[in-house]
Structures are given as C-alpha cells and as structure tokens.
Amino acid sequence: MNLWVRQIGGVLRLEMKKTFLSRRGWWVYFLALGPVLLTLGHWLIEIGTRSRGHHSMGEDSLVFAGLFHFYYLRLGIFFGCVGIFSNLFRGEMLEKTLHYYYLTPLRRELLVAGKYLAGLATALFLFVSSTAISFLLIGRHFGAGYTDYILHGPGLSQLGSYVLVAALACIGYGAVFLMCGILFRNPMIPAAVVMVWENLNPFLPTVLKKISVIFYLKNLCPVEIPIPPPFNVMVIDADPTPFWIAVPGLLVLSLILLVYSGLSARHTEISYGE
C-alpha cells in the first residue's frame, strides 16, 4: 500500500506540472476567468454610476444563480473538464509520450488514479475558486450590506453550497471524461453526446433523469431557476434527491467510472499511427 501511495504521488507530481502548463488546455483558463471578469465589471460599473437603487441584493443573488446554472454547470465546468481530463491520456497519445509511463513498473490503475487526481486538482483550483470569487464580487457594490448578507445572512450558506456543487461537478464530469479519453480515439464525440443528454435532463422521464450528473447537482443548488415558457410545459417533474443521497451517489458513480477506466487501461495498446 505504501508503494502504491508513493507511485500515485509520483504520477501526481509529474502530471500537475503538465496539466497546469498544458498548451492544449490554455482555453480552460478563459472559461474559469470569464465569470470573474463579468462580475468584476458589474461591481466597477455599479460603483462608478452609483446606481445601487436600480436593483436589489436578491436580484443579484438570482442573477448569480442563473450564471451558475447555465454557465458553470452546463458550459464552463463541463467543457473545462472535457479539456482537462480527456487529454490526460489522449493528449499523451497525440504527443507520443504515453509509452514512457507504460515502460515503468507501474500498475495501470495507479496511473489512472494519479492522472485523475492531477486533473481534479487543476479543475478544483480553477472552477471552485472562480465560483467563490464571482459570488463575492457580484454584490460587492452594496458595500457593508453585502458583507452583512454573507456573514450574518444566507450568503455564507449559499456560497458553501455553490462551492460544493462546483467541486462535485469537477469530480463527476472529470471521471466521465477521463474514461472517454481512454476509450475513444476522439473524445469530442462522446463529450457531445453527454452534453446533449445532460441538457435534455429536465425533459426526460424520471428514471432516465437519474442517469446523469446534472440531476444530482442542480438539486444541491441553493437557489432554483424556473424554466421559462414554452419549455416549462415539457418539463417532467421528479422528486429532488436528498443531500445525503445526492452527494454519496455522485461520489459512488464517479468511483465506478474510475474503476472501469483503470480496468480498461490494463488492456489499452499504444498505436501512434492512429
């Protein structure tokens, strides 16, 4: 066990350098930075025009909920995880460097674990910090009132929920797209299929809703965003998953995908001529 931990740690250290400095994933930083710049601009404009009376703190809270639902969960974190995790194996195949790992006395399952942890650390750093900073910036123009909202109102609880959901999204989507990078020559095709499936989730039957990451994540969000007409008439209601089921359920699903990825990596063969 100690040997396995040291080997995973060695892979993790190597992969952290490559993942953070990857030339293929530079655009992921823009996905994480976009909402920060947007909320920072909102703060500066509101201070510059001194238009605090044009909207309320509750409206800012609702705007951030929409930003989190429709950007972070469905676009930013989703495509960020595609860029980070699908390239952990497929990127090395393209760069013809994967055989260096395969020539070492290292179990394939440990290689998968080390790469996944490196990708997860990168995703958490980018998107969890982006979520927290954006939440703190969007109502900053209210000054002491927003500070009181965070420290003595529901703000701190909402921030914790958004950070938790962002972290779980990185864990779940990371496991999905790491598996896609191992199993498919072109991970973009399964990524497109997963994206369509996740976005169709509100309109799927109750049983099929539960075979997705977004179903568990949106129930953990502190502010619900209503679906506008005419799409609301097509929505099939399902009982929300309790916290004590949603979080362990998503973690177990991610673990199953990682185990399957590790077993699949045992049988992968390198062919740089693909």
HEC letters along 149-181? HHHHCCHHHHHHHHHHHHHHHHHHHHHHHHHHH
**227 φ/ψ angles, rounded to the nearest 5 degrees:** -85, 125
The answer to whether residue 52 scores a pLDDT higher than 60 is no
Q: Are 73 and 218 in contact (CB under 8 A)?
A: yes
Q: What is the pLDDT of residue 20?
A: 76
The 10 Å Cβ neighbour count of residue 101 is 18
The answer to whether residue 235 scores a pLDDT higher than 70 is no
Q: Are 124 and 98 in contact (CB under 8 A)?
A: no
Q: How many CA within 13 A on the CB side of residue 26?
A: 2
pLDDT tens column, 138-160: 988 888 889 999 998 898 999 99
What is the C-alpha separation between 169 and 74, in angstroms, rounded?
Answer: 10
Q: What is the pLDDT of residue 234?
A: 47
The answer to whether residue 118 scores a pLDDT higher than 90 is yes
The answer to whether residue 25 scores a pLDDT higher than 80 is no
Which pair of tokens denotes residue 143? 């000054």
Among left, alpha and beta (phi > 0; psi -120 to 50; other), residue 223 is: beta
Q: What is the pLDDT of residue 203?
A: 73
pLDDT tens column, 153-190: 898 999 999 999 999 999 999 999 999 988 888 888 88
Radius of gyration of the chain (CA): 20
